[in-house]
């Protein structure tokens, strides 16, 4: 063990005495700290802004004056997805999927205000986040520092004296690994600080440790790649070339291949085609605005039988309200079916793309990072489902007011005069049917479970690379 | 008596080429044995085989009577090795290099012992704390020799130990080698320096294209091997 630590200490001393290595390390640490702080501040601001917007939207809805209840279901309401604390590290799909949905009757609107879309208009580049820096740029730094970690011993004729002192290939590999791991852990310090800040802001300790562990594992995989290549080849230039190519493939080529392959392997029908299909089904169901439409004749007949009356005016409930209520349930059933189909397709595409983590550690870590940070596709889908629950509940709540509190005769005559119109305005107290919406990230253990596959992939990478590295180090000859 | 080093019918292949063919010799304790030959004669290969870095294609090598194959750890523990053009670490001082390599060998050595070894190889005291990247080739070689001495092993394998040394330093090295041998340490050195080998060695084996082509012993009572005879044989085989 003492030999391993001696070798590690010596390697670190070389880096510390090399101005270039120290300077590069310093620049990266400053960059990491700056990006981490900037992302942290931005996501804190997003959290504050969206929380305020949510409160304002609720206040605005509840402060509406007395109105006809159906006007209120179309007045609508906004819900916002507040970013979880760990979005400070990885905003994930947040900037692509939109963060707010306008809720109204008979419609499921798409999420709006996607930062990446507005950002793309400015230059087409994704914003720099702590996750991106750790996923793409820190491996480059490790390559710059470590590509010659074994080759240097050959080139400077120090391998023979080293081995002649009785140092085994295993000890040499372990010593170099410990040195690389030391640099890696130092580079993880800014991430640890942001994770700690996330815990202070209410994040679960398990999730924060999970993110730290994931990135440590990922960077150790890169250490494994670097050590393996450095132990196998005989020149620094070749080592640097191979590692640069591996980085290029892992960071740029395979992730794009993954997306393209997922789209091909799990084809999705076009949006226009899907929308047209859904609109056709919705037309058959009817949105309830025309209570005299053929779809509702059976409902009318059933109600007359149920309440044993001859005319809808004699029903103890508002027929137009009942139609709205039934139509909303039917429309929602159709919309939910299409939404679930779409989400299922997206999940299958995402899973297919994530399986490319067996080919690229970058794909694996980005999937794991989003899952642990609570900014993955599953979280977005849960936001859509929870928003839909809020929409359905408040629309049906107001439809119930329409059914029970609004007289049918007043309702159909409300355009005749001001007095009739006034009588159809329901008390604003009824707007309290709106549930308070506060989107929370999934529990830490659920997020950890979702990150299981990427963690498994990275562990497999590390095991294979370590085994290969040890084998190569054992075969090293002066 | 068990030989400290022995090669028996040793043949070694490197990159598909046979570099040693049926080489046999043995070295007793306190003996300085030189392998003399031109470039590519197989001198360094012989040393690397004793260290277990290369495996014999046939035959065997023994250290203190034990076959290196199967007793590698023990063999390396018994040997201090000075590689050709040993540079050690340029970012470390002489003290730091010695301390590092000795700690890897499990040798606990204090500053006094380091200074003593560096005095014996005549490295200037003011240079000992300077980074070795500022050293001349000769100064680096002196530190490498000091490391070999400090290992305090019964056997020293020295690959071109006087390479880069000035004539005064070569004389000092020769004296040092003789002192070490008189103290019971066994030295196998490889060189293409005929005069140096004749002055320091008890026996010279002449190696040509991986084959032993001649052997010269220091006559009793003489302080060196007959340089002229070795030179003639060396030139004859080099020209062959």
Mean pLDDT (chain B) is 90
- Give the pLDDT confidence score for residue B239 in this predicted structure: 55
**A1 part of contact set with chain B, CB < 8 Å:** no
Give yes or no for residue B87 having a pLDDT over 80. Answer: no
Nearest by Cα to A106 from A410, A303, A437, A398: A398
**B83 part of contact set with chain A, CB < 8 Å:** yes
Q: At what angle do helices A319-354 and A271-285 cross, to 10 degrees?
A: 160
Give the separation between CA A394 and CA A73, rounded to whole angstroms.
8
Q: Given an 8 Å threshold on Cβ–Cβ distance, is B103 in contact with A18?
A: no
Please state, for a pLDDT cut of 70, what percent of chain A lies above it: 96
Give the separation between CA A462 and CA A219, rounded to whole angstroms.
10
CA distance readout (Å), A421 to A227, A265, B219: 80, 57, 133
In angstroms, what separates the C-alpha of A467 from chain B's closest C-alpha? 21
B32-36 and B186-191 as β-strands: parallel, antiparallel, unpaired? parallel
In angstroms, what separates the C-alpha of A11 from chain B's closest C-alpha? 11
Question: Best mutation site among A164, A168, A474 for testing chain B: the one with the most B CBs within 10 Å?
Answer: A164
- Give the pLDDT confidence score for residue A356 in this predicted structure: 96
Tens digits of residue pLDDT in A332-380: 998 889 989 988 999 999 999 999 999 999 999 999 999 999 999 999 8
Beta bridge partners of A76: none
What are the start-end ranges of the H helices in A203-318?
205-232, 236-248, 254-265, 271-285, 297-307
**B53 part of contact set with chain A, CB < 8 Å:** yes
Give yes or no for residue B182 having a pLDDT over 60. Answer: yes
Give the separation between CA A370 and CA A376, rounded to whole angstroms.
5
More confident residue, A119 or A87: A87
**B104 part of contact set with chain A, CB < 8 Å:** yes
Beta bridge partners of B211: B208
Average pLDDT over residues A292-316: 83
Give yes or no for residue B237 having a pLDDT over 80. Answer: no
Give yes or no for residue B59 having a pLDDT over 90. Answer: yes
Sequence-ordered list of residues with C-beta below 8 angstroms from that of A154, at least 6 positions apart, any chain: A234, A476, A478
Q: Given an 8 Å threshold on Cβ–Cβ distance, is A3 in contact with B104?
A: yes
Tens digits of residue pLDDT in A221-235: 999 999 999 999 989
- Nearest CB neighbour to B104, from listed A6, A14, A160: A6
In angstroms, what separates the C-alpha of B180 from chain A's closest C-alpha? 20
Nearest by Cα to A8 from A124, A168, A171: A171
Q: Which long-range contacts does A406-414 make (Cβ < 8 Å, 24+ apart)?
A: A406/A68, A406/A69, A406/A318, A406/A321, A407/A318, A408/A312, A408/A313, A408/A315, A408/A317, A408/A318, A408/A319, A408/A320, A409/A313, A411/A318, A411/A320, A411/A321, A412/A320, A414/A68
Question: Best mutation site among A4, A148, A160, A162 for testing chain B: the one with the most B CBs within 10 Å?
Answer: A160
Beta bridge partners of B203: B33, B217
Give yes or no for residue A307 having a pLDDT over 90. Answer: no
Nearest CA in chain A to B89: A158
Residue found under tokens 């506060």: A438
Give the separation between CA A3 and CA A51, rounded to whole angstroms.
56
| Structural domains of chain B ordered from first start | 5-84+154-239 (3.40.50.300)
Q: Given an 8 Å threshold on Cβ–Cβ distance, is A165 in contact with B105?
A: yes
Nearest by Cα to A73 from A399, A426, A416, A310: A399
Task: Supply A478's token pair.
Answer: 């002066």
- Give the pLDDT confidence score for residue B141 in this predicted structure: 87
Residue B238: band (very low, low, confident or very high) from pLDDT cuts 50, 70, 90:
low
**A476 part of contact set with chain B, CB < 8 Å:** no
Quote the DSSP letter at residue B131: B
Nearest CA in chain A to B52: A164
Average pLDDT over residues B154-182: 89
Quote the DSSP letter at residue A250: I
Nearest CA in chain B to A168: B73
Please state, for a pLDDT cut of 90, what percent of chain A lies above it: 36
Q: Is the dihedral of CA A128, A132, A138, A139 positive or negative?
A: negative
Residues of A within 8 A of B80 (CB-CB) are 164
Task: Supply B57's token pair.
Answer: 């294609």
Quote the DSSP letter at residue B130: S
**B103 part of contact set with chain A, CB < 8 Å:** yes
Count of CA atoms in the C-beta half-sphere (13 A) of A427:
4
Most confident listed range (A169-183, A265-279, A409-423): A169-183
Mean pLDDT (chain A) is 86
More confident residue, A444 or A92: A444
Residue A220: band (very low, low, confident or very high) from pLDDT cuts 50, 70, 90:
very high
Average pLDDT over residues A41-68: 82
Count of CA atoms in the C-beta half-sphere (13 A) of A190:
26
Residues of B within 8 A of A3 (CB-CB) are 103-104
- Give the pLDDT confidence score for residue A69 in this predicted structure: 81
**A65 part of contact set with chain B, CB < 8 Å:** no
Give the separation between CA A6 and CA A166, rounded to whole angstroms.
13
Give yes or no for residue A279 having a pLDDT over 80. Answer: yes
Give the separation between CA A25 and CA A189, rounded to whole angstroms.
13
Q: Given an 8 Å threshold on Cβ–Cβ distance, is A478 in contact with B83?
A: yes
Residue A448: band (very low, low, confident or very high) from pLDDT cuts 50, 70, 90:
very high
**A316 part of contact set with chain B, CB < 8 Å:** no
More confident residue, B52 or A110: B52
Beta bridge partners of A78: A102
Give the separation between CA A244 and CA A229, rounded to whole angstroms.
11
Contact A191, A36 (CB under 8 A): yes
More confident residue, A366 or A128: A366
Average pLDDT over residues B219-223: 85
Question: Best mutation site among A161, A163, A167, A174 for testing chain B: the one with the most B CBs within 10 Å?
Answer: A161
Least confident residue range of A375-384, A394-403, A411-420, B171-180: A411-420
Tens digits of residue pLDDT in A166-198: 898 899 999 999 999 999 998 898 899 889 989
Nearest by Cα to A282 from A413, A426, A121, A106: A106
- Give the pLDDT confidence score for residue A118 in this predicted structure: 47
Residue A113: band (very low, low, confident or very high) from pLDDT cuts 50, 70, 90:
low
Give the separation between CA A424 and CA A68, rounded to whole angstroms.
6
More confident residue, B163 or B186: B186
- Nearest CB neighbour to A161, from listed B73, B86, B106: B86
- Give the pLDDT confidence score for residue A199 in this predicted structure: 93
Nearest CA in chain A to B151: A165
Nearest by Cα to A161 from B203, B47, B36: B47
Tens digits of residue pLDDT in A130-169: 899 899 999 999 999 999 999 999 888 888 888 888 898 8
ipTM confidence score: 0.85
Tell me which H or E stretch contains B193: none
Beta bridge partners of A15: none
Nearest CA in chain A to B45: A478
Residues of A within 8 A of B85 (CB-CB) are 157
Nearest by Cα to A219 from A148, A117, A131: A131
Least confident residue range of A231-240, B25-34, B165-174: B165-174
Least confident residue range of A35-44, B66-75, B163-172: A35-44
Contact B156, B51 (CB under 8 A): no
Average pLDDT over residues A18-45: 80
Q: Given an 8 Å threshold on Cβ–Cβ distance, is B89 in contact with A17?
A: no
Residues of A within 8 A of B12 (CB-CB) are none
Question: Best mutation site among B14, B89, B105, B157 for testing chain A: the one with the most A CBs within 10 Å?
Answer: B89
Contact A130, A36 (CB under 8 A): yes
Tens digits of residue pLDDT in A324-344: 888 889 889 988 899 899 889
Give yes or no for residue A115 having a pLDDT over 70. Answer: no
Give the separation between CA A282 and CA A378, rounded to whole angstroms.
27
Give the separation between CA A67 and CA B6, rounded to whole angstroms.
107
Nearest by Cα to A223 from A148, A126, A143: A143
Helix (H, G, I), strand (E, B) or coil at B14: strand
The total of other beta-carbon atoms located within 10 Å of residue B12's CB is 24
- Give the pLDDT confidence score for residue A64 in this predicted structure: 82
Contact B146, B117 (CB under 8 A): yes
Task: Supply A184's token pair.
Answer: 């890696």
Q: Given an 8 Å threshold on Cβ–Cβ distance, is A161 in contact with B54?
A: no
- Give the pLDDT confidence score for residue A426 in this predicted structure: 78
Give the separation between CA A136 and CA A32, rounded to whole angstroms.
12
Give yes or no for residue A124 having a pLDDT over 50. Answer: no
* DSSP sequence for A155-214: HTT-HHHHHHTT--HHHHHHHHHHHHHHHHHHHTHHHHHHHHHHHHTT--HHHHHHHHHH
């Amino acid at each position: 063990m003492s030999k391993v630590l001696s070798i590690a200490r010596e390697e670190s001393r070389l880096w510390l005495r090399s101005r270039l290595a120290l300077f590069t390390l310093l620049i990266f640490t400053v960059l990491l700290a700056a990006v981490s702080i900037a992302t942290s501040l931005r996501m804190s601001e997003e959290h504050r802004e969206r929380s305020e917007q949510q409160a304002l939207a609720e206040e605005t809805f509840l402060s509406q004056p007395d109105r006809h209840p159906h006007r209120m279901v179309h007045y609508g309401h906004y819900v916002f997805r507040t970013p979880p604390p760990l979005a400070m590290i990885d905003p994930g799909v947040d900037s692509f999927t939109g963060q707010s949905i306008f809720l109204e009757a008979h419609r499921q609107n798409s999420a709006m205000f996607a930062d990446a879309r507005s950002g793309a208009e400015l230059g087409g580049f994704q914003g720099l986040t702590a996750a991106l820096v750790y996923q793409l740029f820190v491996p480059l730094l490790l390559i710059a520092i470590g590509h010659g970690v074994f080759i240097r011993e050959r080139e400077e004729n120090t391998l023979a004296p080293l081995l002649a002192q009785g140092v085994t290939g295993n000890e040499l590999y372990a010593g170099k690994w410990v040195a690389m791991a030391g640099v890696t852990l130092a580079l993880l310090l800014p991430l640890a600080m942001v994770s700690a800040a996330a815990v202070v802001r209410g994040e679960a300790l398990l999730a924060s440790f999970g993110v730290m562990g994931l990135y440590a594992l990922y960077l150790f995989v890169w250490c494994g790649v670097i050590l393996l290549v450095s132990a196998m080849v005989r020149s620094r230039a070749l080592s640097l070339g191979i590692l640069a190519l591996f980085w290029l493939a892992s960071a740029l080529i395979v992730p794009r291949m993954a997306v393209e392959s997922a789209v091909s392997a799990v084809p999705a029908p076009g949006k226009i085609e899907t929308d047209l299909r859904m609109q056709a089904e919705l037309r058959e169901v009817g949105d309830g605005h025309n209570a005299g439409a053929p779809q509702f004749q059976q409902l009318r007949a059933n109600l007359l039988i149920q309440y044993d009356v001859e005319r809808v005016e004699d029903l103890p409930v508002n027929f137009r309200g009942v139609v709205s209520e039934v139509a909303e349930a039917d429309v929602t059933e159709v919309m939910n079916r299409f939404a679930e189909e779409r989400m299922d397709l997206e999940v299958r595409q995402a899973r297919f793309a994530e399986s490319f983590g067996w080919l690229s550690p970058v794909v694996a870590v980005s999937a794991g990072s989003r899952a642990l940070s609570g900014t993955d596709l599953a979280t977005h889908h849960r936001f859509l489902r929870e928003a839909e629950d809020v929409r359905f509940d408040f629309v049906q709540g107001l439809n119930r007011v329409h059914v029970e509190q609004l007289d049918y005769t007043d309702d159909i005559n409300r355009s005749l005069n001001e007095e009739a119109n006034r009588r159809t305005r329901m008390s604003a107290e009824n707007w309290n049917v709106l549930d308070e919406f506060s989107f929370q990230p999934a529990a830490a253990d659920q997020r950890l479970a979702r990150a299981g596959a990427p963690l498994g992939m990275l562990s497999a990478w590390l095991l294979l690379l370590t085994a290969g590295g040890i084998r190569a180090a054992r075969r090293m000859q002066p | 008596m068990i030989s400290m080093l022995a090669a028996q019918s040793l043949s070694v292949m490197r990159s598909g080429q046979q570099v040693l063919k049926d080489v046999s010799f043995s070295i007793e304790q306190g003996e300085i044995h030189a392998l003399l030959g031109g470039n590519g004669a197989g001198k360094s290969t012989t040393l690397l085989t004793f260290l277990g870095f290369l495996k014999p294609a046939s035959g065997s090598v023994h250290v203190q009577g034990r076959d290196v194959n199967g007793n590698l750890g023990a063999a390396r523990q018994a040997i201090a090795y000075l590689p050709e053009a040993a540079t050690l670490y340029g970012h470390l001082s002489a003290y730091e290099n010695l301390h590092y390599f000795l700690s890897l060998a499990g040798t606990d050595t204090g500053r006094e012992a380091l200074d003593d070894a560096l005095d014996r190889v005549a490295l200037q005291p003011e240079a000992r704390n300077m980074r070795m990247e500022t050293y001349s080739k000769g100064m680096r070689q002196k530190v490498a020799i000091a490391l070999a001495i400090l290992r305090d092993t019964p056997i020293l394998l020295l690959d071109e130990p006087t390479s880069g040394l000035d004539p005064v330093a070569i004389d000092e090295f020769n004296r040092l080698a003789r002192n070490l041998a008189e103290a019971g340490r066994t030295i196998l050195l490889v060189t293409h320096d005929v005069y140096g080998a004749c002055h320091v060695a008890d026996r010279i084996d002449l190696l040509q294209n991986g084959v032993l082509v001649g052997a010269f012993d220091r006559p009793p009572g003489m302080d060196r091997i007959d340089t002229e005879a070795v030179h003639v044989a060396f030139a004859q085989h080099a020209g062959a």
